[in-house]
Structure 1
Amino acid sequence: MARNQTLKLNDGNTIPQLGFGVWQVDADVAEDVVAKALQIGYRHIDTAKIYGNEEGVGRAIANSGIPREELFVTTKLWNEDQGYESTLEAVDKSLERLGLDYVDLYLIHWSQPEKGKYLDTWKAFQEIKASGKARSIGVSNFTEKALQDVLDTGVVPAAHQIELHPYFNQRAMREIDARHGIVTEAWSPLGQGKADLQDATVQEIARAHGATPAQVVIAWHLAIGNVVFPKSVTPERIQENWDAQDLTLSQEEVARIDALTRDDGRIGPDPADFND
């Protein structure tokens, strides 16, 4: 696979398939690790208001010398900011923290179904896109019903970011996204470094390719069409994750990893119950 492969979004924009995530990266560390990722070759950075590191990401971008149009930056609206007017205010604050005039993708971080604000929020998102403050808009951690409600507005999200890793491959939601031309993005793509990377099948495939288990899992994500942004603060691992683009899995190997999914594989909150 060519490095910096892109996928086409349903609004005509493109997104680099392999990105760099900064969830759980401390604010005082984010600038350095994002700078390292950009130096290695990453051009897609995924952050969020709740991560508390938008400023550090913005400083790394500003100091990188890379033309803005060559970068793809995602941030997300946090739950407390949902609602029409508060969403319009929140995007301006995120842009200020990032030091940017626009983001390439803006996501509603959680559907929060019991609070019922996601449709008013989605209306504001459409205005944000029309204003040029976000080139593409999408959702994250949406239930099937909440996603259908958004689809019923006639404005289809460009992307849907969900927990997705070998032990929780989200086939059903990926199929729903695909039917509507929505790109699926995977958070915690390595299973937060727990059982997925220690799985005997993943380890066996890694040995066969002379690769790390993390590289195998990233290659699996790329093979099944996910956007993926592994997180690391270790320079060697940031490089290793980037090098996963050079690894091509056979169809049989992809199928073997697909088969690892479990009913109890979810690590994070269930979007149906997460209303904090």
Structure 2
Amino acid sequence: MYDKMMTLSNGVQIPQMALGTWFIADDKAAEAVREAVKIGYRHFDTAQAYGNERGVGEGVRTAGIPREEIFVTSKVAAENKSYESAAASIDESLEKLGLDYIDLMIIHSPQPWKEVNQSDNRYFAENREVWRALTDAYKAGKVKAIGISNFLQEDIDNLYDWAEVKPMVNQILCHVSNSPLDLIDYCQKKDIVVEAYSPMGHGEIMKQPELVEMAKKYGVTVAQLCIRYDIQLGTVVLPKTANPEHMKTNADVDFVISDEDMETLKNVKVIKDYGDSGVFPVYGGKI
């Protein structure tokens, strides 16, 4: 089990390997969390938009290990763009999770989902209001760290110099063939930890011949190669699965990709036009 930790700008320790729970149904989430804890996972990523906070919280509470040993992330829904709605949603997340605090709470997207890649409106003023709600929750001890998701440089700049508490995390779509290296570098220079979701590119990348060959070279699966790639980019990685066997193999990534092969992976071309699939390169998954 890959169990390395990273440190956020406020000193909070965050496990670099997380279990993403997007698409895990609420009634399946608790068992998925419990199984993952047995394997060694200590970081679980959910969101208001996933509809499974209740199940994830149940899994955390019934996992058989102390709460403080588990790191829980949730996200303010992209449609919550006022102080009042964001603040209320954080309290609702705490209630659904059944937890006294959330380890990390982030803004799910700078734009409401229906406008992602469809609108030039970056909601600068509204995101500052949501950030104010997150900051107040942070000060109140409801959340231990706060961050953002799917934010581009201009969105980060809107918050960074203005904010009393700086963003600690930016969770973005990052996988072989779609690696926003400039954005990652920009975040890291500002001491913002980058989290990479959908490290296997929604499954399509598993079919890429050059990745299949490289995985054979290292004696690993393509999924393991993709996850290790994001780890070596210095990101927290969030592979999602409810399958315990996949959980095990996804976390068995202690091998090292050579510098030469990392450069090759950074330059793999986009493998598919996502079209109307509901997935947004640059911004990331719809939810």
Structure 1 ranges of 4+ moved more than 6 A: 263-267, 271-276
Per-residue deviation at 1:230? 0.3
Tell me if the contact between 1:54 and 1:97 (Cα under 8 Å) persists in the aligned partners: yes
Residue identity matched to 1:68: R
2:266 aligns to what? Answer: 258
Instruction: Note if 1:145 corresponds to 2:144.
Output: no
| 1:243 match: secondary structure | coil
Cα 1:236–1:272 change in 2 (3 A) is: closer
The CA distance in 1 between the partners of 2:152 and 2:96, in whole Å, is 29
Per-residue deviation at 1:68? 1.1
Residue identity matched to 1:188: S
Instruction: Note if 1:214 corresponds to 2:192.
Output: no
| 2:144 match: secondary structure | strand
Instruction: Note if 1:163 corresponds to 2:162.
Output: no
Per-residue deviation at 1:262? 3.7
The CA distance in 2 between the partners of 1:56 and 1:148, in whole Å, is 35
1:24 aligns to what? Answer: 23
| 1:161 match: secondary structure | strand
Per-residue deviation at 1:270? 5.8
Tell me if the contact between 1:189 and 1:228 (Cα under 8 Å) persists in the aligned partners: yes
Find the partner of 2:279 among 268, 271, 276. Answer: 268
Find the partner of 1:190 among 200, 205, 229. Answer: 200
The CA distance in 2 between the partners of 1:257 and 1:80, in whole Å, is 35
What is the 5 A alignment of 1:167-182?
167-182=177-192
| 1:160 match: secondary structure | strand
Tell me if the contact between 2:174 and 2:196 (Cα under 8 Å) persists in the aligned partners: yes
1:40 aligns to what? Answer: 39
What is the 5 A alignment of 1:49-88?
49-88=48-87
1:227 aligns to what? Answer: 236
Aligned length: 273
The CA distance in 1 between the partners of 2:233 and 2:262, in whole Å, is 8
The CA distance in 1 between the partners of 2:284 and 2:68, in whole Å, is 38
The CA distance in 2 between the partners of 1:255 and 1:126, in whole Å, is 38
Name the TM-score, length of structure 1 as normaliser: 0.93
Tell me if the contact between 1:7 and 1:14 (Cα under 8 Å) persists in the aligned partners: yes
Cα 1:263–1:139 change in 2 (3 A) is: farther
Find the partner of 1:247 among 243, 247, 255. Answer: 255
Residue identity matched to 1:44: H
The CA distance in 2 between the partners of 1:252 and 1:41, in whole Å, is 31
Tell me if the contact between 1:141 and 1:271 (Cα under 8 Å) persists in the aligned partners: yes
Name the TM-score, length of structure 2 as normaliser: 0.89
Per-residue deviation at 1:236? 1.1
Per-residue deviation at 1:274? 11
Cα 1:226–1:114 change in 2 (3 A) is: closer
What is the root-mean-square deviation in Å for CA atoms of aligned residues? 2.2
Residue identity matched to 2:177: Y
Per-residue deviation at 1:242? 1.2
The CA distance in 1 between the partners of 2:273 and 2:135, in whole Å, is 34
Tell me if the contact between 1:77 and 1:87 (Cα under 8 Å) persists in the aligned partners: yes
Query: What are the ranges of 5 or more consecutive residues in structure 1 without an aligned counterpart?
Result: none
| 1:60 match: secondary structure | helix
Cα 1:174–1:35 change in 2 (3 A) is: same
Find the partner of 1:121 among 126, 130, 133. Answer: 130
